[in-house]
Amino acid sequence: MYNGKMNKDLSVYLGVSKGKPLNWNPKQEKNPHLITVGGSGSGKTETLKAIMLELKKSKVSSLILDFHNDFKIFADNLVQIDKATLHPLEVQINEKPLDVCYKVSKMIANVFVLGDVQEAIIREAIKVFYIKSGIKDLKKENDGTIELMPFSYFRDIIFDTPIQNQGVPKLLAKISVLFDVDLFMNADGTSISLDTIIKNLSVIELLKFPTDEVKALVADLLLKKLINFLYIKGKSEDYWLYVVIDEAHRMMYPGSPVELLLRESRKYGVGIILASQRPTDFSETILANAGTIIAFQESLDKDAVFLSKQLRIPKVNFQKLKTSGLGYCLFSSKDEAEKVQITSVKDRKEYQEIAKNFDEEERSDYFNKELKRIKKEKDRYNNLEESNKKQEIKIKELEKEISLINGTLERKEYLINKHDIETKSQQKEIIRLSHENGKLTEKLELRDEKIEKLEKKLKK
Protein backbone atom coordinates (compact mmCIF):
# COMPACT_ATOMS: atom_id res chain seq x y z
CA MET A 1 0.00 0.00 0.00
CA TYR A 2 1.28 3.46 -0.87
CA ASN A 3 1.50 5.91 2.00
CA GLY A 4 0.38 8.90 -0.03
CA LYS A 5 3.72 10.64 0.33
CA MET A 6 6.41 10.77 -2.25
CA ASN A 7 9.81 9.58 -1.30
CA LYS A 8 11.83 12.78 -0.79
CA ASP A 9 14.71 11.34 -2.74
CA LEU A 10 12.58 10.07 -5.59
CA SER A 11 14.96 9.51 -8.45
CA VAL A 12 13.64 8.33 -11.78
CA TYR A 13 16.06 6.63 -14.11
CA LEU A 14 15.49 8.02 -17.59
CA GLY A 15 18.23 6.54 -19.73
CA VAL A 16 21.80 7.03 -20.87
CA SER A 17 23.55 10.34 -21.44
CA LYS A 18 27.19 10.42 -22.59
CA GLY A 19 27.58 6.82 -21.50
CA LYS A 20 26.28 7.51 -18.01
CA PRO A 21 22.87 6.89 -16.42
CA LEU A 22 20.68 9.99 -16.33
CA ASN A 23 18.14 10.40 -13.56
CA TRP A 24 15.31 12.86 -13.01
CA ASN A 25 15.12 14.07 -9.40
CA PRO A 26 11.87 16.06 -9.12
CA LYS A 27 12.71 17.55 -5.72
CA GLN A 28 15.83 19.18 -7.13
CA GLU A 29 13.92 21.06 -9.81
CA LYS A 30 11.90 24.23 -9.40
CA ASN A 31 8.72 22.25 -9.75
CA PRO A 32 7.82 18.55 -10.07
CA HIS A 33 6.38 18.89 -13.58
CA LEU A 34 7.77 17.13 -16.62
CA ILE A 35 6.83 17.94 -20.21
CA THR A 36 7.80 15.85 -23.19
CA VAL A 37 7.38 16.97 -26.79
CA GLY A 38 8.26 15.45 -30.13
CA GLY A 39 6.85 14.40 -33.49
CA SER A 40 4.83 11.27 -34.11
CA GLY A 41 6.75 8.11 -33.23
CA SER A 42 9.58 10.03 -31.57
CA GLY A 43 9.20 8.23 -28.24
CA LYS A 44 6.90 10.25 -25.96
CA THR A 45 4.52 7.46 -24.97
CA GLU A 46 7.42 5.06 -24.39
CA THR A 47 9.05 7.64 -22.15
CA LEU A 48 5.90 8.09 -20.10
CA LYS A 49 5.58 4.31 -19.76
CA ALA A 50 9.13 4.07 -18.52
CA ILE A 51 8.48 6.82 -15.99
CA MET A 52 5.29 5.05 -14.87
CA LEU A 53 7.24 1.90 -14.23
CA GLU A 54 9.70 3.84 -12.07
CA LEU A 55 6.93 5.65 -10.16
CA LYS A 56 5.24 2.33 -9.54
CA LYS A 57 8.48 0.89 -8.21
CA SER A 58 8.88 3.88 -5.90
CA LYS A 59 5.25 3.60 -4.77
CA VAL A 60 4.35 7.10 -5.84
CA SER A 61 0.62 7.63 -6.30
CA SER A 62 -0.32 8.57 -9.83
CA LEU A 63 -3.43 9.36 -11.74
CA ILE A 64 -3.13 8.50 -15.40
CA LEU A 65 -5.64 9.74 -17.93
CA ASP A 66 -5.28 6.94 -20.46
CA PHE A 67 -6.76 7.70 -23.88
CA HIS A 68 -5.47 4.60 -25.72
CA ASN A 69 -5.06 1.86 -23.12
CA ASP A 70 -1.31 2.40 -23.17
CA PHE A 71 -0.86 2.37 -19.40
CA LYS A 72 -3.33 -0.23 -18.19
CA ILE A 73 -0.65 -2.73 -17.35
CA PHE A 74 0.83 -0.47 -14.64
CA ALA A 75 -2.46 0.02 -12.82
CA ASP A 76 -3.06 -0.89 -9.19
CA ASN A 77 -6.51 0.59 -9.59
CA LEU A 78 -8.08 0.29 -13.00
CA VAL A 79 -10.94 2.75 -13.31
CA GLN A 80 -13.40 1.90 -16.05
CA ILE A 81 -14.91 5.28 -15.73
CA ASP A 82 -17.56 4.73 -18.41
CA LYS A 83 -19.34 2.42 -15.97
CA ALA A 84 -19.69 5.15 -13.36
CA THR A 85 -21.74 8.34 -13.34
CA LEU A 86 -20.44 11.87 -13.56
CA HIS A 87 -22.70 14.90 -13.74
CA PRO A 88 -20.95 17.41 -16.02
CA LEU A 89 -22.66 20.30 -14.26
CA GLU A 90 -21.90 19.02 -10.78
CA VAL A 91 -21.29 21.77 -8.23
CA GLN A 92 -18.99 20.44 -5.55
CA ILE A 93 -18.83 21.58 -1.97
CA ASN A 94 -17.18 25.02 -1.85
CA GLU A 95 -17.83 25.66 -5.54
CA LYS A 96 -20.10 28.43 -6.77
CA PRO A 97 -22.62 27.45 -9.43
CA LEU A 98 -21.76 30.51 -11.50
CA ASP A 99 -18.05 29.62 -11.55
CA VAL A 100 -18.86 26.07 -12.62
CA CYS A 101 -21.12 27.49 -15.31
CA TYR A 102 -18.26 29.51 -16.82
CA LYS A 103 -15.72 26.70 -16.51
CA VAL A 104 -17.87 23.95 -17.97
CA SER A 105 -19.21 26.06 -20.84
CA LYS A 106 -15.61 26.87 -21.72
CA MET A 107 -14.66 23.19 -21.61
CA ILE A 108 -17.55 22.22 -23.87
CA ALA A 109 -16.76 25.12 -26.21
CA ASN A 110 -13.12 24.05 -26.39
CA VAL A 111 -13.62 20.36 -27.07
CA PHE A 112 -16.40 20.87 -29.63
CA VAL A 113 -14.80 23.98 -31.16
CA LEU A 114 -17.86 26.18 -30.60
CA GLY A 115 -18.20 29.81 -31.58
CA ASP A 116 -18.82 32.63 -29.12
CA VAL A 117 -22.58 32.66 -29.58
CA GLN A 118 -22.80 28.90 -29.16
CA GLU A 119 -20.71 29.10 -26.01
CA ALA A 120 -23.04 31.81 -24.70
CA ILE A 121 -26.05 29.57 -25.36
CA ILE A 122 -24.44 26.77 -23.35
CA ARG A 123 -23.63 29.20 -20.58
CA GLU A 124 -27.16 30.55 -20.37
CA ALA A 125 -28.60 27.03 -20.54
CA ILE A 126 -26.43 25.98 -17.60
CA LYS A 127 -27.72 28.93 -15.58
CA VAL A 128 -31.31 27.96 -16.39
CA PHE A 129 -30.48 24.35 -15.45
CA TYR A 130 -29.27 25.48 -12.04
CA ILE A 131 -32.26 27.74 -11.44
CA LYS A 132 -34.62 24.93 -12.41
CA SER A 133 -32.73 22.67 -10.00
CA GLY A 134 -33.83 25.03 -7.24
CA ILE A 135 -30.63 27.04 -6.81
CA LYS A 136 -31.59 30.57 -5.83
CA ASP A 137 -28.23 32.31 -5.67
CA LEU A 138 -25.73 31.27 -8.34
CA LYS A 139 -22.94 33.16 -6.59
CA LYS A 140 -23.32 31.29 -3.32
CA GLU A 141 -20.95 28.44 -2.55
CA ASN A 142 -22.47 25.00 -2.32
CA ASP A 143 -22.73 24.15 1.36
CA GLY A 144 -23.95 20.67 0.59
CA THR A 145 -27.56 21.52 -0.09
CA ILE A 146 -27.48 21.64 -3.88
CA GLU A 147 -29.26 18.81 -5.62
CA LEU A 148 -29.21 18.89 -9.38
CA MET A 149 -31.75 17.56 -11.83
CA PRO A 150 -30.49 14.65 -13.92
CA PHE A 151 -28.17 15.78 -16.73
CA SER A 152 -30.62 14.38 -19.28
CA TYR A 153 -32.78 17.51 -18.80
CA PHE A 154 -30.03 19.68 -20.19
CA ARG A 155 -30.82 19.00 -23.83
CA ASP A 156 -34.38 20.33 -23.52
CA ILE A 157 -33.12 23.40 -21.74
CA ILE A 158 -30.74 24.18 -24.60
CA PHE A 159 -33.59 23.63 -27.00
CA ASP A 160 -35.77 26.11 -25.15
CA THR A 161 -33.04 28.67 -24.83
CA PRO A 162 -34.34 32.22 -24.97
CA ILE A 163 -31.53 33.32 -27.28
CA GLN A 164 -33.58 32.68 -30.38
CA ASN A 165 -31.41 32.05 -33.35
CA GLN A 166 -30.58 29.41 -35.86
CA GLY A 167 -27.54 28.47 -33.87
CA VAL A 168 -29.41 26.15 -31.56
CA PRO A 169 -30.05 23.22 -33.93
CA LYS A 170 -26.48 23.56 -35.23
CA LEU A 171 -25.15 23.61 -31.69
CA LEU A 172 -27.17 20.55 -30.72
CA ALA A 173 -25.87 18.74 -33.79
CA LYS A 174 -22.31 19.51 -32.71
CA ILE A 175 -22.66 18.40 -29.12
CA SER A 176 -25.31 15.70 -29.50
CA VAL A 177 -22.82 12.96 -28.65
CA LEU A 178 -22.91 14.20 -25.04
CA PHE A 179 -26.43 12.88 -24.80
CA ASP A 180 -25.34 9.40 -25.87
CA VAL A 181 -22.85 9.00 -23.06
CA ASP A 182 -24.15 6.88 -20.18
CA LEU A 183 -21.57 8.36 -17.82
CA PHE A 184 -23.41 11.67 -18.12
CA MET A 185 -26.93 10.55 -18.92
CA ASN A 186 -27.23 8.22 -15.93
CA ALA A 187 -25.99 10.95 -13.63
CA ASP A 188 -28.46 12.30 -11.15
CA GLY A 189 -27.23 13.65 -7.84
CA THR A 190 -24.40 11.18 -7.28
CA SER A 191 -21.12 11.34 -9.15
CA ILE A 192 -18.00 9.25 -8.86
CA SER A 193 -15.80 10.45 -6.02
CA LEU A 194 -12.10 11.16 -6.18
CA ASP A 195 -11.48 8.73 -3.34
CA THR A 196 -12.29 5.98 -5.78
CA ILE A 197 -10.16 7.47 -8.45
CA ILE A 198 -6.99 8.24 -6.54
CA LYS A 199 -5.70 4.99 -5.20
CA ASN A 200 -2.02 4.12 -5.51
CA LEU A 201 -1.40 4.00 -9.25
CA SER A 202 -4.76 4.65 -10.86
CA VAL A 203 -5.38 4.37 -14.56
CA ILE A 204 -8.53 5.99 -15.86
CA GLU A 205 -9.65 4.20 -18.99
CA LEU A 206 -11.00 6.67 -21.49
CA LEU A 207 -10.76 4.51 -24.60
CA LYS A 208 -14.35 3.30 -24.52
CA PHE A 209 -15.96 6.71 -24.96
CA PRO A 210 -17.37 7.30 -28.43
CA THR A 211 -15.29 10.28 -29.60
CA ASP A 212 -12.08 12.15 -28.84
CA GLU A 213 -14.19 15.12 -27.81
CA VAL A 214 -15.99 13.14 -25.12
CA LYS A 215 -12.71 11.67 -23.88
CA ALA A 216 -11.19 15.12 -23.55
CA LEU A 217 -14.28 16.47 -21.81
CA VAL A 218 -14.33 13.61 -19.29
CA ALA A 219 -10.64 14.20 -18.62
CA ASP A 220 -11.22 17.94 -18.19
CA LEU A 221 -14.12 17.35 -15.80
CA LEU A 222 -12.03 14.96 -13.71
CA LEU A 223 -9.22 17.49 -13.48
CA LYS A 224 -11.68 20.19 -12.46
CA LYS A 225 -12.81 17.83 -9.71
CA LEU A 226 -9.21 17.24 -8.71
CA ILE A 227 -8.50 20.97 -8.48
CA ASN A 228 -11.40 21.50 -6.12
CA PHE A 229 -10.29 18.46 -4.13
CA LEU A 230 -6.82 20.01 -3.77
CA TYR A 231 -8.24 23.34 -2.61
CA ILE A 232 -10.15 21.53 0.12
CA LYS A 233 -7.26 19.22 1.03
CA GLY A 234 -4.92 22.18 1.30
CA LYS A 235 -1.27 22.89 0.62
CA SER A 236 1.43 20.30 1.02
CA GLU A 237 5.21 20.44 1.12
CA ASP A 238 5.40 16.77 0.26
CA TYR A 239 4.76 15.78 -3.30
CA TRP A 240 2.17 13.03 -3.02
CA LEU A 241 0.61 12.63 -6.46
CA TYR A 242 1.47 12.70 -10.15
CA VAL A 243 -1.12 13.41 -12.81
CA VAL A 244 -0.14 11.96 -16.18
CA ILE A 245 -1.59 12.97 -19.53
CA ASP A 246 -0.30 11.68 -22.86
CA GLU A 247 -1.53 13.61 -25.90
CA ALA A 248 -2.47 16.59 -23.82
CA HIS A 249 -2.89 18.94 -26.80
CA ARG A 250 -6.68 18.82 -26.70
CA MET A 251 -6.65 19.86 -23.08
CA MET A 252 -4.37 22.87 -23.40
CA TYR A 253 -6.31 26.08 -23.81
CA PRO A 254 -6.27 29.36 -21.94
CA GLY A 255 -7.80 28.80 -18.52
CA SER A 256 -7.96 24.99 -18.89
CA PRO A 257 -7.70 22.74 -15.83
CA VAL A 258 -4.31 21.46 -17.08
CA GLU A 259 -2.98 24.99 -17.31
CA LEU A 260 -4.23 25.79 -13.84
CA LEU A 261 -2.64 22.61 -12.47
CA LEU A 262 0.69 23.43 -14.11
CA ARG A 263 0.63 26.82 -12.45
CA GLU A 264 -0.69 25.88 -9.03
CA SER A 265 -0.53 22.17 -8.25
CA ARG A 266 3.05 22.24 -6.93
CA LYS A 267 1.85 24.09 -3.84
CA TYR A 268 -0.57 21.26 -3.21
CA GLY A 269 2.11 18.61 -3.62
CA VAL A 270 0.99 17.48 -7.06
CA GLY A 271 3.19 17.10 -10.13
CA ILE A 272 2.06 16.93 -13.76
CA ILE A 273 3.59 14.83 -16.52
CA LEU A 274 2.47 15.78 -20.02
CA ALA A 275 3.22 14.75 -23.57
CA SER A 276 2.26 16.46 -26.79
CA GLN A 277 3.43 16.37 -30.40
CA ARG A 278 3.77 20.10 -30.84
CA PRO A 279 5.72 22.31 -28.46
CA THR A 280 3.44 25.19 -29.44
CA ASP A 281 0.60 23.37 -27.66
CA PHE A 282 2.24 24.76 -24.56
CA SER A 283 2.55 28.48 -24.05
CA GLU A 284 6.05 29.93 -23.76
CA THR A 285 5.41 30.67 -20.11
CA ILE A 286 4.49 27.08 -19.40
CA LEU A 287 7.58 25.68 -21.09
CA ALA A 288 9.81 28.31 -19.54
CA ASN A 289 8.47 27.35 -16.13
CA ALA A 290 8.52 23.58 -16.49
CA GLY A 291 10.82 21.86 -14.02
CA THR A 292 11.92 19.37 -16.65
CA ILE A 293 11.54 19.18 -20.44
CA ILE A 294 12.37 16.23 -22.65
CA ALA A 295 12.30 17.10 -26.35
CA PHE A 296 12.52 14.52 -29.13
CA GLN A 297 12.64 14.86 -32.88
CA GLU A 298 10.71 17.77 -34.40
CA SER A 299 10.95 18.00 -38.17
CA LEU A 300 8.66 21.02 -38.59
CA ASP A 301 10.84 24.10 -38.82
CA LYS A 302 8.50 26.22 -36.74
CA ASP A 303 8.45 23.69 -33.91
CA ALA A 304 12.20 23.15 -34.00
CA VAL A 305 12.74 26.93 -33.74
CA PHE A 306 10.43 27.09 -30.76
CA LEU A 307 12.29 24.25 -29.03
CA SER A 308 15.64 25.74 -29.89
CA LYS A 309 14.67 28.87 -27.98
CA GLN A 310 13.38 26.96 -24.99
CA LEU A 311 16.24 24.47 -24.66
CA ARG A 312 18.92 26.88 -25.85
CA ILE A 313 20.42 24.59 -28.50
CA PRO A 314 20.45 24.89 -32.33
CA LYS A 315 17.21 23.94 -34.06
CA VAL A 316 18.93 21.42 -36.36
CA ASN A 317 19.71 19.32 -33.30
CA PHE A 318 16.02 18.48 -33.03
CA GLN A 319 15.63 17.92 -36.77
CA LYS A 320 18.60 15.57 -36.88
CA LEU A 321 17.35 13.16 -34.21
CA LYS A 322 16.51 9.96 -36.02
CA THR A 323 16.29 7.31 -33.31
CA SER A 324 13.09 6.90 -31.27
CA GLY A 325 13.66 7.80 -27.66
CA LEU A 326 16.71 9.91 -28.43
CA GLY A 327 16.25 13.49 -27.33
CA TYR A 328 17.37 16.42 -25.20
CA CYS A 329 16.52 16.84 -21.56
CA LEU A 330 16.61 20.20 -19.80
CA PHE A 331 16.42 20.32 -16.03
CA SER A 332 15.66 23.68 -14.40
CA SER A 333 18.57 23.05 -12.03
CA LYS A 334 21.07 22.85 -14.89
CA ASP A 335 22.24 25.36 -17.46
CA GLU A 336 22.48 23.10 -20.45
CA ALA A 337 20.27 20.50 -22.05
CA GLU A 338 21.67 16.96 -22.07
CA LYS A 339 21.36 14.52 -24.92
CA VAL A 340 19.75 11.32 -23.68
CA GLN A 341 18.66 7.96 -25.01
CA ILE A 342 15.62 6.98 -22.97
CA THR A 343 15.74 3.35 -21.91
CA SER A 344 12.61 1.72 -23.27
CA VAL A 345 10.24 0.26 -20.73
CA LYS A 346 10.70 -3.19 -22.23
CA ASP A 347 14.41 -3.05 -21.45
CA ARG A 348 13.79 -2.35 -17.78
CA LYS A 349 14.13 -5.17 -15.32
CA GLU A 350 10.75 -5.18 -13.61
CA TYR A 351 8.70 -4.74 -16.75
CA GLN A 352 8.40 -8.40 -17.71
CA GLU A 353 7.26 -9.31 -14.23
CA ILE A 354 4.62 -6.59 -14.18
CA ALA A 355 3.39 -7.62 -17.61
CA LYS A 356 3.27 -11.27 -16.56
CA ASN A 357 1.36 -10.60 -13.35
CA PHE A 358 -1.18 -8.27 -14.86
CA ASP A 359 -4.70 -9.45 -14.14
CA GLU A 360 -7.39 -7.06 -15.31
CA GLU A 361 -10.08 -8.50 -13.06
CA GLU A 362 -7.96 -8.12 -9.97
CA ARG A 363 -6.87 -4.57 -10.79
CA SER A 364 -10.51 -3.56 -11.27
CA ASP A 365 -11.39 -4.94 -7.86
CA TYR A 366 -11.34 -1.74 -5.89
CA PHE A 367 -13.29 0.17 -8.49
CA ASN A 368 -15.92 -2.56 -8.87
CA LYS A 369 -16.43 -2.68 -5.13
CA GLU A 370 -16.86 1.07 -5.18
CA LEU A 371 -19.40 0.85 -8.02
CA LYS A 372 -21.38 -1.66 -5.99
CA ARG A 373 -21.26 0.60 -2.97
CA ILE A 374 -22.50 3.56 -5.02
CA LYS A 375 -25.33 1.46 -6.43
CA LYS A 376 -26.31 0.26 -2.97
CA GLU A 377 -26.25 3.82 -1.71
CA LYS A 378 -28.48 4.91 -4.57
CA ASP A 379 -30.96 2.08 -3.92
CA ARG A 380 -31.01 2.88 -0.23
CA TYR A 381 -31.61 6.53 -0.94
CA ASN A 382 -34.46 5.67 -3.29
CA ASN A 383 -35.99 3.34 -0.68
CA LEU A 384 -35.82 6.01 2.00
CA GLU A 385 -37.44 8.51 -0.31
CA GLU A 386 -40.11 5.98 -1.14
CA SER A 387 -40.94 5.32 2.51
CA ASN A 388 -40.99 9.05 3.29
CA LYS A 389 -43.45 9.53 0.47
CA LYS A 390 -45.68 6.90 2.07
CA GLN A 391 -45.57 8.82 5.35
CA GLU A 392 -46.51 12.02 3.56
CA ILE A 393 -49.54 10.25 2.10
CA LYS A 394 -50.48 9.05 5.56
CA ILE A 395 -50.38 12.61 6.90
CA LYS A 396 -52.56 13.80 4.03
CA GLU A 397 -55.07 11.07 4.92
CA LEU A 398 -55.06 12.14 8.57
CA GLU A 399 -55.68 15.73 7.58
CA LYS A 400 -58.60 14.62 5.49
CA GLU A 401 -59.94 12.46 8.27
CA ILE A 402 -59.77 15.33 10.76
CA SER A 403 -61.54 17.67 8.42
CA LEU A 404 -64.54 15.38 8.51
CA ILE A 405 -64.93 15.73 12.29
CA ASN A 406 -67.33 18.49 13.22
CA GLY A 407 -67.11 20.11 16.61
CA THR A 408 -64.99 22.46 18.67
CA LEU A 409 -61.21 22.73 18.89
CA GLU A 410 -59.56 19.43 19.04
CA ARG A 411 -55.95 18.42 18.91
CA LYS A 412 -54.55 15.13 17.81
CA GLU A 413 -50.98 13.96 17.77
CA TYR A 414 -49.58 11.25 15.63
CA LEU A 415 -46.21 9.56 15.80
CA ILE A 416 -44.60 9.16 12.42
CA ASN A 417 -41.37 7.47 11.40
CA LYS A 418 -39.39 9.48 8.93
CA HIS A 419 -36.03 8.75 7.39
CA ASP A 420 -33.36 11.33 7.30
CA ILE A 421 -31.94 11.01 3.81
CA GLU A 422 -28.63 12.66 4.73
CA THR A 423 -27.75 10.62 7.79
CA LYS A 424 -29.84 7.66 6.70
CA SER A 425 -31.17 7.40 10.23
CA GLN A 426 -34.73 6.94 11.35
CA GLN A 427 -36.28 9.99 12.90
CA LYS A 428 -39.36 10.03 15.05
CA GLU A 429 -41.63 12.84 14.21
CA ILE A 430 -44.76 13.96 15.96
CA ILE A 431 -47.36 15.52 13.75
CA ARG A 432 -49.79 17.62 15.72
CA LEU A 433 -52.97 18.49 13.89
CA SER A 434 -55.54 20.83 15.40
CA HIS A 435 -58.90 21.52 13.98
CA GLU A 436 -61.94 23.59 14.66
CA ASN A 437 -65.21 22.78 12.99
CA GLY A 438 -63.62 20.70 10.32
CA LYS A 439 -60.94 23.33 9.52
CA LEU A 440 -57.29 22.57 9.98
CA THR A 441 -55.99 25.35 12.24
CA GLU A 442 -52.54 24.11 13.08
CA LYS A 443 -50.04 21.61 11.74
CA LEU A 444 -46.85 21.10 13.66
CA GLU A 445 -44.07 18.72 12.79
CA LEU A 446 -41.90 18.00 15.80
CA ARG A 447 -38.55 16.36 15.29
CA ASP A 448 -36.72 14.33 17.93
CA GLU A 449 -34.71 17.19 19.35
CA LYS A 450 -37.78 19.42 19.49
CA ILE A 451 -39.66 16.72 21.32
CA GLU A 452 -36.88 16.65 23.91
CA LYS A 453 -36.91 20.44 24.30
CA LEU A 454 -40.65 20.40 24.76
CA GLU A 455 -40.38 17.75 27.43
CA LYS A 456 -37.71 19.73 29.29
CA LYS A 457 -39.85 22.85 29.17
CA LEU A 458 -42.83 21.02 30.59
CA LYS A 459 -40.71 19.59 33.43
CA LYS A 460 -39.63 23.10 34.49
- Summarize as ranges the residues that interact with ligand ATP (CB under 6 A): 38, 40-46, 277, 324-325, 342, 344
Question: Which of the listed partners (Mg ion, ligand ATP, none) does 36 bind, with a CB threshold of 5 to 8 Å by partner kind?
Answer: none
Number of residues counted as binding Mg ion (CB under 5 A):
2
SS3 62: strand
Which of 99, 139, 389, 408 lies closest to 260 in space, CA to CA?
Answer: 99
Question: Which of the listed partners (Mg ion, ligand ATP, none) does 266 bind, with a CB threshold of 5 to 8 Å by partner kind?
Answer: none
In the complex, the smallest distance separating the C-beta of residue 15 from ligand ATP, rounded to whole angstroms, is 7
Which of 82, 414, 79 lies closest to 217 in space, CA to CA?
Answer: 82
Does an H or E element contain 342, and which?
strand 338-342
Does an H or E element contain 261, and which?
helix 257-264
In the complex, the smallest distance separating the C-beta of residue 125 from ligand ATP, rounded to whole angstroms, is 36
In the complex, the smallest distance separating the C-beta of residue 70 from ligand ATP, rounded to whole angstroms, is 8
What CA–CA distance (Å, rounded) separates 295 from 19? Answer: 19
Nearer to Mg ion, 44 or 363 (CB): 44
What CA–CA distance (Å, rounded) separates 135 from 145? Answer: 9
In the complex, the smallest distance separating the C-beta of residue 291 from ligand ATP, rounded to whole angstroms, is 21
Question: Which of the listed partners (Mg ion, ligand ATP, none) does 115 bind, with a CB threshold of 5 to 8 Å by partner kind?
Answer: none
Question: Which of the listed partners (ligand ATP, Mg ion, none) does 46 bind, with a CB threshold of 5 to 8 Å by partner kind?
Answer: ligand ATP
Question: Which of the listed partners (Mg ion, ligand ATP, none) does 144 bind, with a CB threshold of 5 to 8 Å by partner kind?
Answer: none
Could you give the angle at which helices 116-132 and 97-111 cross, rounded to 10 degrees?
A: 140
Window 43-62: residues binding Mg ion (CB under 5 A): 44-45
- Characterize the bridge pairing of strands 241-245 and 62-66: parallel
Residues near 339 by beta carbon (within 8 Å), at least 6 away in sequence: 17, 18, 326, 327, 328, 329
Question: Which of the listed partners (Mg ion, ligand ATP, none) does 54 bind, with a CB threshold of 5 to 8 Å by partner kind?
Answer: none
Nearer to ligand ATP, 23 or 190 (CB): 23
For residue 445, the Cα-to-chain-centroid distance in whole angstroms is 40
Nearer to ligand ATP, 340 or 371 (CB): 340
Encoded amino acid at 399, one letter? E
Which of 201, 254, 264, 191 lies closest to 221 in space, CA to CA?
Answer: 191
Nearer to ligand ATP, 177 or 300 (CB): 300
What CA–CA distance (Å, rounded) separates 154 from 132? Answer: 10
Nearer to ligand ATP, 97 or 327 (CB): 327
Question: Which of the listed partners (ligand ATP, Mg ion, none) does 41 bind, with a CB threshold of 5 to 8 Å by partner kind?
Answer: ligand ATP
In the complex, the smallest distance separating the C-beta of residue 295 from ligand ATP, rounded to whole angstroms, is 11
Window 6-45: residues binding Mg ion (CB under 5 A): 44-45
In the complex, the smallest distance separating the C-beta of residue 25 from Mg ion, rounded to whole angstroms, is 25
Question: Which of the listed partners (ligand ATP, Mg ion, none) does 38 bind, with a CB threshold of 5 to 8 Å by partner kind?
Answer: ligand ATP
Q: Do the Cβ atoms of 25 and 221 come closer than 8 Å?
A: no
Residue 144 sits at φ, ψ, to 5 deg, of 105, 0
Window 334-353: residues binding Mg ion (CB under 5 A): none
Question: Which of the listed partners (ligand ATP, Mg ion, none) does 77 bind, with a CB threshold of 5 to 8 Å by partner kind?
Answer: none
Window 351-380: residues binding Mg ion (CB under 5 A): none
In the complex, the smallest distance separating the C-beta of residue 68 from ligand ATP, rounded to whole angstroms, is 8
Could you give the angle at which helices 257-264 and 212-233 cross, rounded to 10 degrees?
A: 30
Nearer to Mg ion, 45 or 299 (CB): 45
Nearer to Mg ion, 35 or 114 (CB): 35
In the complex, the smallest distance separating the C-beta of residue 222 from ligand ATP, rounded to whole angstroms, is 21
Q: Do the Cβ atoms of 241 and 235 come closer than 8 Å?
A: no
Q: Do the Cβ atoms of 203 and 77 come closer than 8 Å?
A: yes
What CA–CA distance (Å, rounded) separates 247 from 219? Answer: 12
Q: Which residues bind Mg ion (CB under 5 A)?
A: 44-45
